[in-house]
Amino acid sequence: MSLPEPLSRLIEQLQKLPGIGAKGAQRLAFHVLKNPRDDAERLCDAIRDVKEQVTYCSICNNITAADPCVFCAGDGRDHGVICVIEEPQNVMVVEKTREFRGVYHVLMGVLSPLHGVGPDDLKIKGLLHRVGAGGVSEVILATSPTVEGEATALYLARLLKPLGVRVTRIAMGVPVGSDLEYADEVTMTRAMEGRREL
Amino acid sequence: MSLPEPLSRLIEQLQKLPGIGAKGAQRLAFHVLKNPRDDAERLCDAIRDVKEQVTYCSICNNITAADPCVFCAGDGRDHGVICVIEEPQNVMVVEKTREFRGVYHVLMGVLSPLHGVGPDDLKIKGLLHRVGAGGVSEVILATSPTVEGEATALYLARLLKPLGVRVTRIAMGVPVGSDLEYADEVTMTRAMEGRREL
């Protein structure tokens, strides 16, 4: 069956979004078609506003409506502790702990030779510049506990340590609330290695 | 963490879409933020065009850019056989069989007393009018094999039969390619009941 052109074009556009397949895109397109025009307008306005009003912090690369971001501009934050993360959305994960009072540095990716991502593709120079400018006591490497995240952390550690700053890596181990039965061997090995005196 | 207002607004709008939860909406919003503005524009244009250019066929209620739709206007279709379906997207499922050469009638829903959907909320009058006008030899009831779809089919059959038209219901049974081990008892009962001589 040939769908009306605007509808098949919408399905095509929706399929480009992450996590949305052919069936999902079709379902969304028919939802847009069926629902009030106001809903569609609000969605479009929100998309346009994000592209127009949200930018990246010139200091830490976090997303923000005003430059510098609330963290880099904030008096209440400890500018001597920088938490290095892969993507802007990782800021939320750390903030949810309500424990971290330092600032951030978003790498905008991880080292991934397989995907052609090298050191020059990440925001590493800015990080070295911030640390080199002094006043930084600790850099917490909070990249993902994946092969690529680990490699990136090790790479950064080698660059940062000569600058005389304390470089730490977030702990890896069994997640709180999980059943030990389902822990994989690599995680369990890390949990054993990282054991602490009680 | 407080996200920039446009971003949290986009996440809020995306969450209203079917099958998209909090995590999915966040992922999509960050995708929109990260990708080129042109992509976002194309998506918005597609959404707007669907709302502006796609309407419903005045005869069968199928979605269409031109009224009447390709099926109702088509010479190559048998206007004497009407396939009754719940939603416009069901047209595609039937068309994919490449077997059906008749026309359609979209009910725009199913009878559902629990959700307050009664006969007057569906496009039933138009169907009766089409059949009553003559020239229709068969009405195939292809509503879903659910409790509501079944009830709707039975309701329609009672209204249509007095008009002297042949009323049929699509077969229910075990899906082709499935393992019988996983067939539920209701489906299996229907499959047994509907068995045919070989």
Residues of A (130-189) whose Cβ lies below 8 Å from B: none
Residues of A with Cβ-Cβ distance to B40 under 8 angstroms: 47-48, 50-51
Secondary structure (3-state) at B139: strand
Per-residue pLDDT at A86 exceeds 90:
yes
Could you tell me the pTM of the whole model? 0.72
Tens of pLDDT, residue by residue over B147-158, are 999 999 999 999
Residues of A with Cβ-Cβ distance to B43 under 8 angstroms: 13-14, 16, 47
Residues of B with Cβ-Cβ distance to A37 under 8 angstroms: 51
- Provide the shortest C-alpha distance from residue B104 to chain A (in Å): 12
Closest partner residue to A42 (CB to CB) among B2, B13, B26 is: B13
Q: How confident is the model at residue B93 (pLDDT cuts 50, 70, 90)?
A: confident
- CB-based contact, B198 to chain A, within 8 Å: no
- Round to whole Å and give the CA distance between A172 and A147: 13
Same domain, yes or no: B90 and B169? yes
Tens of pLDDT, residue by residue over A29-80, are 999 998 999 999 999 999 999 999 999 999 999 999 999 999 999 888 999 9
- CB-based contact, B101 to chain A, within 8 Å: no
Give Cα separations from A122 to A81, A86, B5, B110 (angstroms): 20, 9, 26, 53
- Provide the shortest C-alpha distance from residue A178 to chain B (in Å): 20
With respect to residue B51, please indicate whether it lies within any of the assigned structural domains. Answer: no
CATH number at residue A92: 3.40.1360.10
* Residues whose CB is less than 8 angstroms from the CB of residue A10 and which lie 6 or more positions away in sequence, other chains included: A29, A32, B46, B47, B49, B50
CATH number at residue B9: 1.10.8.420
Mean pLDDT rounded to a whole number for chain A:
91
Same domain, yes or no: B147 and B89? yes
With respect to residue B172, please indicate whether it lies within any of the assigned structural domains. Answer: yes
Mean pLDDT rounded to a whole number for chain B:
91
Same domain, yes or no: B104 and B28? no
Residue whose entry in the numeric block shows the structure tokens 């489906």: B187
With respect to residue B117, please indicate whether it lies within any of the assigned structural domains. Answer: yes
With respect to residue A32, please indicate whether it lies within any of the assigned structural domains. Answer: yes
With respect to residue A189, please indicate whether it lies within any of the assigned structural domains. Answer: no
DSSP string, B68-93: S-HHHH-TTSEEEEEEEESSTTHHHH
With respect to residue A190, please indicate whether it lies within any of the assigned structural domains. Answer: no
Chain B residue with CA closest to A89: the answer is: B30
With respect to residue A169, please indicate whether it lies within any of the assigned structural domains. Answer: yes
Task: Please compute the mean of the pLDDT values over residues A168-186 and round it to a whole number.
Answer: 85
Same domain, yes or no: A40 and A113? no
Tens of pLDDT, residue by residue over A118-132, are 999 999 999 999 999
With respect to residue A184, please indicate whether it lies within any of the assigned structural domains. Answer: no
Give me the domain span that covers residue B37: 5-45
Q: How confident is the model at residue A1 (pLDDT cuts 50, 70, 90)?
A: low
Closest partner residue to B95 (CB to CB) among A1, A18, A29 is: A1
Give Cα separations from A110 to A52, A153, B178 (angstroms): 26, 9, 43
Q: How many domains does chain A have?
A: 2
Cβ distance of B3 and A92 shorter than 8 Å: yes
ipTM score of the complex? 0.73
